[in-house]
Chains A and B, each alone.
Chain A
Amino acid sequence: MSVKNWQLKRDMDYPYPEARPKKQWAIVFDLNKCIACQTCTLACKTTWTSARGQEYMFWNNVETKPYGGYPLAWDLRVLEKLGRQDWAKNGSYAGKTIFEAAPPSERAVHFNPTDEDWMYPNVGEDDCAGGPVGAGGAAMSALPHDKWFFYLPRTCAHCTYPACLAACPRKAIYKRAEDGIVLIDQSRCKGYGECVRACPYKKSMYNPYTRVSEKCVGCYPAVEQGIQPQCVVNCIGKIRVMGFINPPWAARDDNPVDYLVHKKGLALPYYPQLGLEPNIYYIPPIHADREYLAQMFGPRVDDAIKAYQGIARDKTAQALMVLMGSTDRIIHRFAAEKDQAVAFNEVGTEIARVPITEPVIDRPAFDERLGAVRNNTP
């Protein structure tokens, strides 16, 4: 069946007809701010995956690119099966998606991870790329650094065209019409692992104790109450915002996710060429290798970085950036009012108000009024 994939700027093959949800769950991550503290990972772990058979599971993980991957090299091992992944001049994808590249016996081209592949969730952490260390000394010894790496936090992308859903021979996976969250029916799944094989992002995971597959549930019980997921609200770096994204033809400039993705082009889907229309979006890191970033985020990565570097001159964009992490409620609309950023919920009630620029307060070491020296020791 032919469906519209706006991230590829073209139609593509998918086993089921296009059925966009009323609202689509989405997270935007600012990769320039992620420090791989793994607070998101642990927030998710303690909320959802602390039982038997889930020991190895990280529905949210943070890996170090380019070398890290959970499971091992998940991205390279599916990309290598796609063939050439060229983008046409007009921005449309000229290569094949995982559905289009599938052999007749499969619903999606894939690699099937082994047990060992899951056992190194943070391999390559802080490893730098850019040439042999021996040739130029330690990677960190020179400024500017001639080596690069960045952290990539990942959840399920609750794709518009999920490969897990496409591959399930039991039709035990469904995408909710109300918020686009993709769930595995825990009472119907028989643990064939077809979703584990087919999801190119490897965000379906088999539970060897319950013998059924599980995945990130988008924290739907929170989302149903207008609250952002655990990995978002626990992010100490305030690098994330969860909201609802519209397709570009229905985008609203005052919707935080639409603004970042469609209006400003700051945030990009990752590995859009796989063809799933994933709904986690990244503000790409400004300092990493551009060719690598283009492979991961597509042809608009240079524009996104340029836009990011221009935020300092854009009060609306700044307003949104300071609202990230300023409320645990889902922001449906935001605005810059004078020097303040304001967020509203679905019915238009104000849920957060923060200064766009924090006031600078100069506190001299010697307090004249008290005649005492201040120090930072509590």
Chain B
Amino acid sequence: MRTLLLSLLSASTAFAQGELSAPLVKADLSKPDPAAAVWKSAPAPLSVSLMGQPMVTPRPEATTTSELKVQAVHDGTRVAFRLTWKDDGVDEAGVLGTFSDAAALQFPVGNSDTPPPVMMGGKDQPVHIFHWRAQYQRDAEKGKPTPKDLYPNLNVDMYPMEFHDMGSLGRKPDDNRDQFSPGRATGNPQAYSKTGVDEIIAEGFSTSSVQEGHGSAGKATWANGEWSLVITRPLKSEGGSVLNPGGKSFVAFAVWQGGKKEVGSRKCLTMAWTPLSLGK
């Protein structure tokens, strides 16, 4: 408890965040591109402070990502955010015991003056999260890795239900293929190839639930010890966060450094909402 209080005290410096404005631009924001020209003319990046998630265990012992630089623009139908943060290397997870670099944007569902609790929302106060992972981006770019991709020296005689000739069983090889892969058989979105960004609705810690994509996309590049990530999303999404040109809302941020074994609740995040205003 003492540690928690100390964490909160040191968090007070992280509470005050500037306002993020997303001007209306004439650009194609459907394809996320961290190097696009639009970011050169966009307002200078806003610096937001992050700290190690202090509220629930398990949590990081130290703040690994303390600063995030953010820009935002919208084109009347989509809004895009460009995030940069320092990270020593690229971590895409894969083999056992490895974790992926990741970042997330969080918006309130519903636009009231008082946003939901900043950490994952609360009961009946949902938040809409756009979660990018390097691992998911790898899926989108190179295909979801097979065990053979992860372990090149792997040798397996055969997998059940993957025989070329099912003989008297008479089934097509694809039938029941996932029967022995419970994650896939139960339809867990985690077990299928990803497009880069997961859309998540949450009503508090441990409630996050991946939704069918509403057309968001993400693309990041890593160079010189820094990730540059663009997440683009439609302004309006049914059942999710709705942003209006000329209107105001809030946004919050989180970053995971896979190389430091951060995943799930082991993350660095903003301790307060950043006010977001959209240009007309």
B-binding residues in A (CB < 8 A): 48-56, 103-107, 112-115, 117-118, 167, 169-171, 186-194, 196-197, 206-212, 214
Contact = CB atoms under 8 A, between A and B. Distances in A.
B134 to A, nearest CB: 14
A117 B95 CA distance: 12
B151 to A, nearest CB: 8
B181 A192 contact: no
Contacts of B154: 55
Contact of A169 (B146, B181, B191, B264): B264
B57 A186 contact: no
Contact of A52 (B1, B61, B96, B147): B147
A170 B264 contact: yes
Interface stretch (B37-45, B121-129, B182-190, B247-255): B182-190
B260 interface: no
B188 A52 contact: no
Contact of A186 (B4, B188, B208): B188
Contact of A53 (B60, B61, B147): B147
A314 B181 CA distance: 47
A55 B147 contact: yes
Per DSSP, chain B at the interface is loop
Given A105-B58, A169-B264, A51 B190 contact: no
B58 to A, nearest CB: 5
Contacts of A106: 57-58
A117 to B, nearest CB: 8
A104 B4 contact: yes
A55 B182 CA distance: 14
B261 interface: yes
Contacts of A188: 188
Given A169-B206, A187-B187, A50 B146 contact: no
A167 B57 CA distance: 8
Residue of B151, B190, B265 ringed by the most chain A CB atoms within 10 A: B190
A325 B143 CA distance: 47
B206 A211 contact: no
Contacts of A191: 190
B96 A206 contact: yes
B96 A105 contact: no
Interface in B1-16: 1, 3-4
A209 B188 contact: no
A208 B94 contact: yes
Contacts of B180: 48-51, 54
B188 A105 contact: no
A210 B265 contact: no
Contacts of A114: 96-97
A194 B61 CA distance: 15
17 contacts: A50-B159, A52-B146, A106-B57, A115-B95, A117-B97, A118-B96, A169-B264, A170-B206, A187-B187, A189-B183, A193-B99, A193-B263, A209-B181, A210-B182, A211-B191, A212-B183, A212-B190
Interface in B24-73: 56-61
